[in-house]
Amino acid sequence: MKDMCVNSELLADARETLRRPQKALSPKWFYDRRGSELFEEITELPEYYPTRTEAAILKENAARLAGLVPRGGALVELGSGASVKTRTLLGAGEHFGAYVPIDISEDFLLSTADDLRARYPGLAIRPVVGDFTGSVNLPDDVITLSKIGFFPGSTIGNLDPLEAVALLARARAWPAVEGFILGADLVKPAPDLIAAYDDAAGVTAAFNLNVLNRLNDEAQANFDLSEFRHEARWCEDPARIEMHLVSERAQTVRLGEDVITFREGESIHTESCRKYTAETLEALAAAAGWRVEEMLTDDAARFAVAVLRPDAG
């Protein structure tokens, strides 16, 4: 086993979730530097329609969406990654006072922020390293600015319903928040969905398996990645894709001082990707204190960009 600096948070979380009857890992652990790079590759895959579909919606409506940010206000993005789609809004938002990208992967975030400063020299870039599934402290010089939240990429579907409501409720509580732009994948035929999460090139499989690399490197584990395979499953109720890592044989794995036992065919549930209808999206927003002002979709209604406003009621 390598000499390493143990990621105590990852180790503690994995010890708890891998002991459950349905073994699981939180999808937030996907995003080390390698995981972030692999996800950016996924967004370019021919099977992965969400990124290009949402990007087209954002491009077509860039002026409208950028105009939601008041002059001198801030755009605050949760789970910003490489901020690729965000640049459509930044390019149309010459009146923005600040852009606040929030991401859990520090190296990737800071590298992206440096690139954005070079591209938009007149815009204050205020990166925040943080986990958007919990409370995040906004920069002091942004707190009082009027602001619009931005959560693209259908990541809201990765959260269970209570987590999704809690996230939107925390954003609703930001000082001077005036709206929220939310990306959400819509329900469609199961074969289209499964292909998007199990591409022919195997990039999504590598992304999924990389979380085991993280456990090996940062949590004193000894997973043999060749003994696990990626699997995407469609569940009708609730409407979601699940990603699993399936053990190819009966085996035991070390995790810190623990031993985790796997049966042949037993899986680790690593991610759920919920798909929405207009009705379920409106219900989600309402539960967190928002109302859907507008829902922008592509012609085939595969994806939605919803404009949320604070619900005065």
Rounded Cα distance between 115 and 11, Å, is 32
Express each pLDDT in 135-148 by its tens digit: 999 999 999 999 99
* Domains of the chain with CATH codes: 8-45+192-274 (no CATH), 49-188+276-310 (3.40.50.150)
**To the nearest whole number, what is the mean pLDDT of the chain?**
95
Express each pLDDT in 207-266 by its tens digit: 999 999 999 999 999 999 999 999 999 999 889 999 999 999 999 999 999 999 999 999
Express each pLDDT in 109-161 by its tens digit: 999 999 999 999 999 999 999 999 999 999 999 999 999 999 998 899 988 89
Express each pLDDT in 259-312 by its tens digit: 999 999 999 999 999 999 999 999 999 999 999 999 999 999 999 999 999 998
Express each pLDDT in 29-53 by its tens digit: 999 989 989 998 998 999 999 989 9
